[in-house]
Amino acid sequence: MTASNPDGTQDFGVYVHIPFCATRCDYCDFATWTDRQHLQDSYVDACVTDLRRRVEEGLVPLASSVFFGGGTPSLLPPEQLMTILGEIPRTSTAEVTVECNPDSIDRSGLDIYRAHGVNRLSFGVQSFDEQVLAGLGRTHNPANVERVVADARLAGFDNFNLDLIYGTPGESVDQWLATVNSAIALNPPHLSMYALTVEPGTPMGANVRAGALAPDDDDQATKYELADELLTKAKMPWYEISNWAQVGYECRHNLLHWATGDYLAIGCAAHGHRARSRYWNLRTPERYIAAIAAQESPEAGSEVLDLNAQREEEFVLALRTSTGVSARKVDPEVISACVDAGLIDHIASTDRLVLTRRGRLLATEVTVRLLAGNNAGPRYDGVLTAMGKDRPSV
Amino acid sequence: MNAQPRFRNFAIVAHIDHGKSTLADRLLELCGAVEARDMRAQYLDSMDIERERGITIKAQNVRLKWRDHILHLIDTPGHVDFGYEVSRSLAACEGALLLVDASQGIEAQTLANCFSALEANLTIVAVLNKIDLPAAEPEKRAAEIEKVLGIPADEILRISAKTGEGVAELLDVIVERVPPPTGDPDAPLQALIFDSSYDPYRGVVSSLRVFNGTLTSGSSLRYINASALHEAEEVGVRSPSPSPVAALGPGEVGYLIAGIKAVGEAKVGETVTNAANPGVALAGYEDPKPMVFCGLYPVDGDEYVELRESLAKLRLNDSSFTYEPETSGALGFGFRCGFLGLLHMEIVRERLEREYNLSLVATAPNVEYRAYLISGESEVVDNPSALPSPNQIERIEEPFVDVTALTPSEYVGAVMELAQQRRGEQTRMEYISEERVELVYTIPLAEIVSDFFDQLKSRTRGYASLDYEPAGYRVANLAKVDILLNSVAVDAFSTIVHRDKAYDYGRKMTEKLSELIPRQLFDVPIQAAIGGRIIARQTVKARRKDVIAKCYGGDVSRKRKLLERQKEGKKRMKQIGRVEVPQEAFVAALTLDS
């Protein structure tokens, strides 16, 4: 799978990380802080400087997608956020997404985004159930979602995503289905639905270690299957394990990740991909700001994969999408065993292997099996070089 | 027969912790055999395991000079597993020193070994030790000994090996009471091997006692039972450091090196004679048969070859365990090993792990069954998974033992209850004093090799002691319980149990495995079965989800590492039918078992 366009150009993405939040959600292990608002101005300046420098170095082709993630990008004054966007050279059709908290964005802010070329919004909804939201340590009022979606439409956004989380301990299947139906009722072009994952080092991780109820795989599997059924009926087919969209509204920036395309990392803790190298920036906003001020590279580490590892990674990522992987290099016996087990479909017309609903939930097992039966070249050799002071993280 | 008036040969018979090693240390000091500055505790116990556990595994001997006499002390392994070795050590002596803790009183194994000494016509010198302890009750203990062994209480010595009190007098009493050995120096040579150990540089070093004739360095020897010829490379005595001598005469104890490469060729009980002028074999030679069996497997399958080589090396030094290769679907390549008893099994395993740096997993120990088939044939079964199917079997016999337990009287009820639970039949019960009781039961050996000893100790707060001896085979109502994983038997968990206990085993094992076996892509039934009949069942529900929800920029490297771990894990999986199980799960199921 490649990220090339019909005209032969390669897609290129820019990811900008905004590490500020009003409050921290209990499950979140992202690089974000609730007490660093005083850094906002210098942080935005640093992002701008970083971008200018990279553009001057000639390392930034025209972006086909830009993604402001976080953190909570909508926590920044919209004009300030847009000064960063103003520095990013991009194609006329580029997809530009801003992640928003329904509580921290209003109609005027959305108008400013729109005026500067933002054409896609992603709302962190997680659930429409107040009890479930409380269980996640989220504060927003579900009624705000309806309001902000209406405002977005009025501001001219026809493309937006809602993020949902399923499988919070204590969430009933009915509560989850009500959330999915509430989301569908808003007719979103795009939905991301994530199984709640307990990460170490989060308040939720500490609670679970102390004996609090943990998410249950079987419960999450049931909820995934039911939601997938509802969305298929609502004409929003899956296109990646955790992503559903109306046809034509698949997120271009995300597709770039799964096609191992190149993307530039701007901001602290951001990850980038350049040819065969993955790299990541310094984790804290302070160190990022300091590095930019000192005219040093903000990159904290990188790893270069050899060709086999790279191919394997392409295979693994592509298998997560509805495009699937080529069947050509996979042992036919392994294919038929996986087909018989209801894990994959073998699409005859394209000779590709695509995960079934059951297979998506068991994607790790399927991946390991297919790789074991993958005859492509010599064995995986792994990372060629890895360096850096920070461990990779989002 | 000429008396050899200068010599006295004696063994020490004692229960663990009754002070045998401390007394041996004191004797060495008093006789000047070891300089004070070279003295260390438990001088004669040379193996780490012996020192740590306070047990003697190998027989040791030391030559002591006391006034005008030469004393040979032969230190014997006291444990029931080594009964044959004990009997050969006793055969090398004229006297036995019965050492009893003055607060604990005589224990079952000591009593059994003491009876062996009496049967071998040894003179018993009874000694109460630890009289310095406040809890010592020498009068009571002496009365007990008089009652069970008929040794007059007023002849029983009282000492403290720790302080040295009474030890010199003890040496005088040994000289006075133990008869000197007899033997004809001009008769054909007869020397009894009572221990052999392997030295990587010198080969086998045997400890022996000359009965008749003279063992001369450099002479040609015949090992009568092995029908082999060897040359006496070196003959010597230990005092306690070894020193070569020209010859050993009748009544003398020493060592012999004869260029032998494995202890199996110089077994305990062997008679050594002159090649040119051979005598006849001494009585009592046996080839001890293993009584307890288990499978030994390397935790890491790559260590199989090392395990095989280590077993071969260990066997150079211990010919009493057996091993042969076997393959288990659950555990891979390993060996079915036979041992003299549970302690012997533990020692061999511990030595393999410690001295050869192996990590091992053992299947549950079992005894040797005799299966009589309807066809008229019979089979000896030392691996439960090899038992023929129930419809072919006419009857099964299992080994029984006569168990002697000595317990404080307050625990008689607890001991009787345990023995009955273990299918024991009482044959005798006797109060050896007001407060101590001797109980004798006939019990299937299989019941002893599970956790009988631990149970006995815990139910009597450690006060009861145990000894047993084989009592032949008997028919029993036994069943083989197989554990099936998705309908495929897992050999490592097959067991033979009494029918009344089959359900209990099946339920416990299926429950345990259902917690340890990872979920598969389909429901996996775990069943316990006798023949075709299912007696217990658990189900490991199918795994439904393993996917990582998010996979964006920063997740990719993490995901790749996770996948690498998954792939590695997959390689270590054992395939039982369609079910993939990490070997650790089987190892855990076996090690949790008790």
pLDDT at A56: 95
B555 vs A394: CB contact, 8 Å cut-off? yes
A-chain residues within 8 Å CB-CB of B562? Answer: 364
For the sheet containing A344-347, what is the strand order? Answer: A325-326, A352-355, A344-347
Tell whether A51 is covered by a domain. yes
A-chain residues within 8 Å CB-CB of B570? Answer: 368, 372
Range of the structural domain that residue B19 is part of:
2-182
Q: Is B592 on the interface with A (CB under 8 A)?
A: no
- Burial B502-516, CB ≥16 within 10 A → b, else e: bbebbeebbebbbeb
Q: Chain centroid to CA A98: how far?
A: 12
For B532, the enclosing helix (H) or strand (E) is none
For A38, the enclosing helix (H) or strand (E) is none
Residue B76 and residue B92 share a domain: yes
* Residue B279 CB contacts under 8 Å (≥ 6 apart), including other chains: B187, B188, B189, B190, B212, B213, B271, B273
Residue A238 maps to which CATH number? 3.20.20.70
Q: Give residue A110's pLDDT band: very low, low, confident or very high (50, 70, 90).
A: very high
Tell whether A277 is covered by a domain. no
Tell whether A346 is covered by a domain. yes
> Closest to B545 (Cβ–Cβ): which among A240, A278, A361?
A361
pLDDT tens-place values along chain B, 594 residues long = 677 899 999 999 988 788 888 898 899 899 987 766 666 666 666 666 666 665 666 667 899 999 999 999 998 776 778 888 888 999 999 999 999 999 999 988 888 889 889 989 999 999 999 999 999 999 999 999 999 999 999 999 999 999 999 999 999 999 999 999 999 999 999 999 999 988 889 999 999 999 999 999 999 999 999 999 999 999 999 988 899 999 999 999 999 999 999 888 999 999 999 999 999 999 988 888 899 999 999 988 889 999 999 999 888 888 889 999 999 888 889 999 999 988 899 989 999 999 899 999 899 899 999 999 999 999 999 999 899 988 999 999 999 999 999 999 999 999 999 999 999 999 999 998 888 899 999 999 999 988 898 899 899 988 888 889 899 999 999 999 999 999 999 988 999 999 999 999 999 999 999 999 999 999 999 999 998 899 999 999 999 999 888 888 888 888 888 888 888 888 778 888 889 988 888 888 887 554
Range of the structural domain that residue A322 is part of:
308-372
A-chain residues within 8 Å CB-CB of B564? Answer: 382
Q: Among B348, B363, B378, which residue terminates a domain? A: B363
Residue B254 maps to which CATH number? 2.40.30.10
B541 vs A269: CB contact, 8 Å cut-off? no
Residues 494-553 of B with CB under 8 A from A: 521, 541, 543-553
Q: Which of B520, B551, B568 to mutate to test the interface with A (most CBs of A within 10 A)?
A: B551
What is d(CA A70, CA B510) in angstroms, rounded to the nearest whole number? 49
Domain count, chain A: 2
Q: Chain centroid to CA B589: how far?
A: 25
Residue A243 and residue A144 share a domain: yes
Tell whether B339 is covered by a domain. yes
Residue A326 and residue A225 share a domain: no
> Closest to B554 (Cβ–Cβ): which among A258, A271, A360?
A271
Residue B388 maps to which CATH number? 3.30.70.240
Tell whether A131 is covered by a domain. yes
- The CA distance from A100 to the nearest CA of chain B, in Å, is 18
A394 vs B567: CB contact, 8 Å cut-off? no
Residue A326 and residue A196 share a domain: no
Q: Is B565 on the interface with A (CB under 8 A)?
A: no
Q: pLDDT digits over A116-151, tens only?
A: 999 999 999 999 999 999 989 887 788 899 999 999
Tell whether A217 is covered by a domain. yes
Residue B196 and residue B178 share a domain: no
B-chain residues within 8 Å CB-CB of A392? Answer: 554, 557-558
Beta carbons of B169 and B200 less than 8 angstroms apart: no
How many beta-carbon pairs under 8 angstroms link A with B?
A: 102
- The CA distance from B594 to the nearest CA of chain A, in Å, is 29
Domain count, chain B: 5
> Closest to A278 (Cβ–Cβ): which among B548, B556, B564?
B556
* Nearest residue to A12 via CA among A59, A66, A63: A63
Residue A161 and residue A90 share a domain: yes
- The CA distance from B87 to the nearest CA of chain A, in Å, is 59
A-chain residues within 8 Å CB-CB of B559? Answer: 316
pLDDT at B48: 66
Tell whether A281 is covered by a domain. no
Tell whether A280 is covered by a domain. no
B-chain residues within 8 Å CB-CB of A221? Answer: 544-545
Tell whether A216 is covered by a domain. yes
What is d(CA B282, CA B286) in angstroms, rounded to the nearest whole number? 11
Residue B517 and residue B378 share a domain: no
Residue A208 and residue A357 share a domain: no
Whole-number Cα distances in Å, A149 to A101, A116, A236? 11, 19, 18
A368 vs B543: CB contact, 8 Å cut-off? no
B-chain residues within 8 Å CB-CB of A363? Answer: 546-548
A218 vs B570: CB contact, 8 Å cut-off? no
Tell whether B353 is covered by a domain. yes
pLDDT at B368: 96
Q: Is B562 on the interface with A (CB under 8 A)?
A: yes
Residue B311 and residue B177 share a domain: no
Closest residue in B to A283 (Cα) is B554
B547 vs A273: CB contact, 8 Å cut-off? no
Enter the ipTM.
0.85
